[in-house]
Structure 1
Amino acid sequence: MSDSKARGMFANVADKKKSSKRGPLVSQNEIEDGDKPFASAKSAPSPSAVASKPSAPAVQSEHSPSSAVSKDGEYRVIDSKLIRTWKFKDRTVDELQHDPKYSELLASVRASGVLEPILVRALPEPDSNGCLYEGIAGFKRLSAATALGQSIRALVIDVDDVKGAVIQEQENAGRSEPSAWGRATNYLRLLDGGVYTTQTQLADGLDINKSYLSNLLRVARRMPEDLVKSLPLTKLGSTSLIYMITKLDAVEGSAKEALIDRIVEFADDFNAKPEKASDIIDKAVASLSEDSRKVAGPASSVYQSQKGKTLTVKAKDNQVAVTFHEGALAVASVEDITDAITEYLAKKGLSLEQVQKKKK
């Protein structure tokens, strides 16, 4: 791609509109266009050759704060350590770690460097880490270059967060799409960060189906932290994520906590077969329901004392029947036994009320 063509393409990208709104995504991880190696090492330019082109000043000039403010549309070769990631990026480091194609991208960049420029904007002044630029699009490429300690060719653009969000969304079209979880959390950050003030504004600005956006935001807001930490959410598609939240929202309190714990137990299954996530969720729900019908302990227990047969406990399905025999009633009245049981249950958090009292 020539410099002039690239400048023209990126200068107008924020104003383009796609023909149809974005719908549900199937998570795909591929090498981004432009990150593929040349046909042979012989045809690949060395990093020094790229850095010496007139349109790409040597990276040494990027270390001084005065050079951070660059003319819009200017290509530069920049030390990757001088570029910080944008807080509104739509990919996560965790997503790259779960991307089977990322190792191929690293191999390509190691052999030939990053072949297609990323998009950055200059910071008004160096940040606390000495960074002079902020990456707007090309997070995978920047991550690979940073991991390998390489400089990277970048197009310096002058955009605010709104235009940056549009550019990022459109640059991903036709490339390896970010995960549904990455999009969900990023859309929520764009709202919480004030880049967009309403869901409608966000949907219109990024040309996203409103129903789809609403579901993704629900996923981002309601996903339990235990599942965020335990499951490979970036490997799951939007349908599975929405289904998981729907199942969790169907229960409350201790039942919800129990379901969360049970889903965590299936973490290895989600990791091995993310495409079967909805089935795995059903399996977790079913196993929990089966366990709830079982009562710990033997099905029937008989207790005796020096006064003879005293107590019988029978468990069936989700019920327990307790029979107090003559041996128990010889030392405790029905009222004493009832009070002891209700007091114990009250200590466990149950609020009991007598709804029917036998007539004397």
Structure 2
Amino acid sequence: MGIRDKASKIDFGSLPGMNATPAAPASDDVKRPKTAPGLMMAQAADQRSELLRENEGLREKVASLSQQAAELGPLSQQLDQARARLKEWEGVKAVRLIDTAQITRSRWANRHDLNFSGPDFEQLLKELEQAGGNVQPVKVRPTGTDAAGQPRYELVYGHRRHEGCRRLGLPVLALVDELDDRALFLEMDRENRARKDLSAWEQGVSYRRALNEGLYPSNAKLAEALGLDLTYVGRTLALGDLPAEVVGAFSSPMELQFRWAAPLREAIQTAREAVIARARELSSLAPKAAAKFVFEELVKAAGQGGSTVLPPQVEIKFDGAKVATVKVGAKGLLGVGFEPGLVPASRLAELEALLKTFLAKGRSGD
């Protein structure tokens, strides 16, 4: 069979695209194939052209993205470095300069006002003034804002540094942290105990306040939270519970010692009225007696009603100048000391005779 006979038997209607209405030629010069094989080849060529165009488009996109990646490379590297540096600061608390007027003392504060006076505090003021502020930050927790919208803070620890900056009119360098009451109390106590200048009495008052306010349900729970021995906590509480009259007998409550807690508590339990009466007598002395002397007198009061309380020190003056000092020792021992050069060795015999005459009059009742 010839080619013409074979072509005559082909069903062109079944070929792809033959049912569709053919598009009008772009121009009279375009030659369209007139045979089925020619149409099939033309369609294949069109499909290849479309794939080539799509491939070329993808190549252009890849080239564009590659160029963008090359341009963003340094920025991406800088971003990775910034993220690495930021990660190093994870968990770090904010430290800032804060106006001392924006900070209030905590109700858990365990510093007595006497800590804000005296030689040690004056030295701290000089150091703060020379440094232009506190080098070691205090710690505060945010408590909201005031009527003017300014942030307010509560002091966790660093009461002396805060007070020093306040008096000097300097902002205080502070570490800001979110803390609940228990966390505040624990951090305050541990920081102050680590400094070793917090008195036993101050600790006792602070622990008693924590128990009274319901911060801890018992002495045992308080001791556990602080990491302290229960006996130690008991002694500090005994000092913190001392009556105001007893505390007032000492020149400073910071002089009260741990080892005095049990004897003083026992004395008060045995003869409270007698101890309080003796404490009032001791409080009236000017200047007040040495701490050890006061302690012994208070303990004596419980068993013997106390002994006669003498001023611990009397200055003897002549023409306005001090010439001698009379002191009462811890056990009642009386000592007289003259200023240097006032009693030469040649007059010691004369002084001895005067003292014998004085003592003889005391024995005779004159």
Shorter-chain TM band: 0.5 to 0.7
How many angstroms does 1:286 deviate by?
8.5
Q: Is the 8 A contact 2:141 2:156 kept in 1?
A: yes
Q: Which has the larger radius of gyration?
A: 2
Match of 1:107 in 2: 126
Written as runs of structure 1 = structure 2, the 5 A alignment for 1:95-244 is 95-97=115-117, 99-112=118-131, 113-126=133-146, 132-221=152-241, 223-229=242-248, 231=250, 232-244=252-264
Written as runs of structure 1 = structure 2, the 5 A alignment for 1:240-251 is 240-251=260-271
Match of 2:43 in 1: none
How many angstroms does 1:110 deviate by?
1.5
Written as runs of structure 1 = structure 2, the 5 A alignment for 1:74-113 is 74-97=94-117, 99-112=118-131, 113=133
Q: Is the 8 A contact 2:248 2:283 kept in 1?
A: no
How many angstroms does 1:187 deviate by?
0.5
State the distance in 2 between where 1:218 and 1:281 align. Answer: 15
Flag the structure with higher helix content: 2
Tell me how large the CA RMSD over aligned residues is. 3.3
Deviations 1:78-120 (A, max 9, x none): 01111001110111212333x5311110111121111111110
Q: Is the 8 A contact 2:278 2:306 kept in 1?
A: no
Stretches of structure 1 lacking an aligned partner (at least 5 in a row): 12-71, 292-360
User: What TM-score comes out, normalization by structure 2 length?
Assistant: 0.53
Q: 1:228 to 1:209 in 2, by over 3 A?
A: same
Deviations 1:139-160 (A, max 9, x none): 1111111122210111100111
Q: 1:207 to 1:224 in 2, by over 3 A?
A: same
Q: Is the 8 A contact 1:165 1:206 kept in 2?
A: no
Q: Number of aligned pairs?
A: 221
Q: 1:262 to 1:167 in 2, by over 3 A?
A: same
Question: Quick one: higher RCO (CA 8 Å, sep 6+), 1 or 2?
Answer: 1
User: What TM-score comes out, normalization by structure 1 length?
Assistant: 0.54
Q: 1:170 to 1:216 in 2, by over 3 A?
A: closer
SS at match of 2:210: helix
State the distance in 1 between where 2:154 and 2:299 align. Answer: 43
Match of 2:278 in 1: 259
Q: 1:155 to 1:103 in 2, by over 3 A?
A: same
Q: 1:110 to 1:277 in 2, by over 3 A?
A: farther
Deviations 1:185-220 (A, max 9, x none): 110111111211211111000112111211222332
Q: Is the 8 A contact 1:83 1:135 kept in 2?
A: yes
How many percent of aligned residue pairs carry the same amino acid?
Answer: 22
